[in-house]
Structure 1
Amino acid sequence: MSYSFSGIDHVQLAAPRGSEDESRRFYGDILGMKEIPKPVNLAKRGGVWFKCGAQQLHIGIQDDFIPAKKAHPAFDVDHLQALRKRMVEHGVKVKEDESLEGAERFYVNDPFGNRLEFLHWYH
């Protein structure tokens, strides 16, 4: 084979038109992701991008937006309980799920109803 995958560059979630400020509040202020500038030619589409470890999270605007209820990104988080505490302090509803052998995890919905998983694998 002449090619190989080196990882995931970014994950994109959709959000309704006009949701950039709420995206900044949730992903930036509450979760602590750093906003990164969109390329000039893409900025006119709306949305907002964030740095998440070595990857990026793109929040794209979708006119006929419907939240992702099953499909979701899963974020590997050091000090997962500190993030859980921060979310609860900011009024974000944390949802427990069946345990995953070797990992601790929970789910939340972003302000637009997209499902997000946060987990940490025991090494």
Structure 2
Amino acid sequence: MLTAVDHVQLAAPPGSEVALRAYYVDVLGMTETPKPPVLATRGGCWFQAGAVQLHLGIEEDFRPARKAHPGLRVTDIETYAARLAEHGAAVVWDENLPGHRRFYSEDPVGNRLEFLEPVKDHHIG
């Protein structure tokens, strides 16, 4: 029986760890978590914020995920979007999900990320 999503892995090109750390830590506000030594030799980075874990693994023939993406729930989405924009990240609002405010952005290697927050007092039906 499934009980939770443990983590989401995204790919990144070789040598991108410095840019990934700057984005996921400084822009998104996540904390880098150490990879086990046997996995650290492969490169990449792991990040966490609360129960949310994102792993960025190195892929030699990297192509960014432009459609596939993690959906990351946030609080105070307007302030969070402003934070990303202040750091030069694109913020593309999408109003097509009933009951939610959401926007899309990209990490520094082009992976698509969705940020969403449920709308308070929204009644479906």
Give the TM-score range, shorter chain: over 0.9
> Unaligned stretches of 5+ in structure 2?
121-125
Name 2:53's counterpart in structure 1: 56
Tell me which stretches of 4 or more aligned residues in structure 1 moved more than 3 Å: none
Following TM superposition, by how much is the alpha carbon of 1:110 offset from its aligned partner in structure 2, in angstroms? Answer: 0.9
Q: Contact 2:95 / 2:101 at 8 angstroms: preserved in 1? A: no
Q: Bigger CA drift: 26-35 or 91-100?
A: 91-100
State the distance in 2 between where 1:6 and 1:52 align.
19
TM-score of the superposed pair, with normalisation by structure 2: 0.92
| Fraction of identical pairs, as percent | 54
Name 1:80's counterpart in structure 2: 77
State the distance in 2 between where 1:57 and 1:46 align.
14
State the distance in 2 between where 1:60 and 1:52 align.
18
TM-score of the superposed pair, with normalisation by structure 1: 0.93
Is 2:20 the partner of 1:30?
no
> Unaligned stretches of 5+ in structure 1?
none
Following TM superposition, by how much is the alpha carbon of 1:6 offset from its aligned partner in structure 2, in angstroms? Answer: 0.7
Q: Which amino acid aligns with 2:11?
A: A
Q: CA RMSD in A?
A: 1.0
Q: Which amino acid aligns with 2:116?
A: L
State the distance in 2 between where 1:68 and 1:116 align.
9
Q: Deviations over 1:75-118 (max 9, x none)?
A: 00011111101111111111122331110000001111111000
Following TM superposition, by how much is the alpha carbon of 1:15 offset from its aligned partner in structure 2, in angstroms? Answer: 0.5
State the distance in 1 between where 2:49 and 2:61 align.
26
Q: Which amino acid aligns with 1:116?
A: L
Q: How many residues align?
A: 120
Q: Which amino acid aligns with 1:109?
A: E
Q: Bigger CA drift: 42-51 or 54-63?
A: 54-63
Name 1:101's counterpart in structure 2: 98
